[in-house]
Structure 1
Amino acid sequence: MPHLPTPTVADAYRGPDYAKRDRKGAGGDDLVTAVCRLFPREKAEKLFKTPTANLANNGSAQHPDKRKAGGHGPTLEDEVCFLLNVDPDAELPDDGPHSPAEWWGEFAKAVYRWECIRGTAAPVPIVRGPRGGLKLAPKFAEWLMGLEPGWVTDVPGLTHKEQLGRIGNGVVPQQAYHAFKWLMEHEAFTEEESADG
């Protein structure tokens, strides 16, 4: 069995470099690339952008290609308004914890997986604005961030803009829980190790 390359600090900050071993003097694969070669997997499904607080101040959505042509990355609102096949007046079917797969296009696998984890269907991701244009639905951003339905969107007196501002840049509770759990277990292990040694 071949040995894996020695880990380096840089391994924490980069992905695989499949061309490295073919470059003269490069010395072969780094650890990240070697592991990726040993355990290949299908390309990860397409994920939505993370809701950010500036969604509340961005103005209207633009097609992602137009946003990129202007030198900027697309926002979550750009993606849901232009890349999805869903009507803002659509309703969720009553037959289970999944929204219609045809709504999500290339995001369908990621949405399905999050629906399974959450145990609840994704809400309609867009709403009509006051002038009839499409906008990101705060209920969808809330769902995407792993918040309970209504955690932000049922707070009395918050406007669409204020809801998105509060949801954006928030913490996904499920991730925070696992991070704290890991820290507590790590601290307990470290304390046991100190007591033994």
Structure 2
Amino acid sequence: MLLPTPRASDGEKGCPGQRGSHGDLTLPSAAVRVPARILPTPRASDGRGPGRLGDGGADLRTTIAGLGQPDEQRWGGYAAAVARWELLLGRPAPEPTQIGRHGKPVLAPPFVEWLMGLDPGHVTDPDLGLPRTLALRVLGNGVVPQQAAAALRLLLCPYRW
């Protein structure tokens, strides 16, 4: 994600999500939206090109190259949207379905949790002991935090929008 160019007026904008005169996010607003992401430690071998670390995961160059890349085989027409949401949340999408009691795929609560932008385990933590249907009911009756935050900003700063 590229951050907007800083402007002299950036320090004057009071509300998060404030947009500039051209409709784009101001630098402070965009910076709030960039998630903290843990990247692999840079190594001298990164200079030789992308690859895998000995027994671990992808090296820094491979990780950077894969950020925000759509997986069209897995997600079809939703690949770009899923890739953007993965980038914004800073974690990959979980499997959208799981095998149900009758052996057919059913909607997986961790996927709904991810779609809503909630922390992993917010509703699906095994310690809570919620069955799948109850977890989906709780998620369905829940609030998407980003939407709630936008609503509060609109209510608190109505004249700045």
TM-score (norm 1): 0.43
Secondary structure class of the residue paired with 1:107: helix
Greater Cα radius of gyration, structure 1 or 2: 1
How far residue 182 of structure 1 moved from its aligned partner, in angstroms, is 2.3
How far residue 131 of structure 1 moved from its aligned partner, in angstroms, is 2.3
Secondary structure class of the residue paired with 1:147: coil
Moved more, 98-107 or 155-164: 98-107
Identity across the alignment (%)? 46
Superposition map of 1:86-101 within 5 A: 95=58, 101=71
Secondary structure class of the residue paired with 1:135: strand
* Counterpart in the other structure of 1:107: 78
Higher RCO, 1 vs 2 (CA within 8 Å, ≥6 residues apart): 1
Distance, in Å, in 2 between the alignment partners of 1:149 and 1:159 is: 16
Secondary structure class of the residue paired with 1:104: helix
Pair 1:178 & 2:150 matched = yes
* Counterpart in the other structure of 2:122: 151
How far residue 157 of structure 1 moved from its aligned partner, in angstroms, is 2.0
Deviant stretches of 4+, over 3 Å: 94-100
Unaligned stretches of 5+ residues in structure 2: 1-56
* Counterpart in the other structure of 1:164: 136
Superposition map of 1:45-56 within 5 A: none
Secondary structure class of the residue paired with 1:124: coil
Secondary structure class of the residue paired with 2:92: coil
TM-score (norm 2): 0.52
Aligned length: 95
Q: CA RMSD in A?
A: 2.3
Superposition map of 1:1-197 within 5 A: 95=58, 101=71, 102-154=73-125, 155-186=127-158
Distance, in Å, in 2 between the alignment partners of 1:98 and 1:134 is: 27
Secondary structure class of the residue paired with 1:167: helix
Instruction: Give the direction of change, closer, same or farther, for the CA distance of 1:174–1:167 in structure 2 (3 Å limit).
Output: same
Given that 1:111 and 1:122 are in contact with CA atoms closer than 8 Å, whether structure 2 keeps it comes out as yes
- The letter for the 2-side match of 1:132 is G
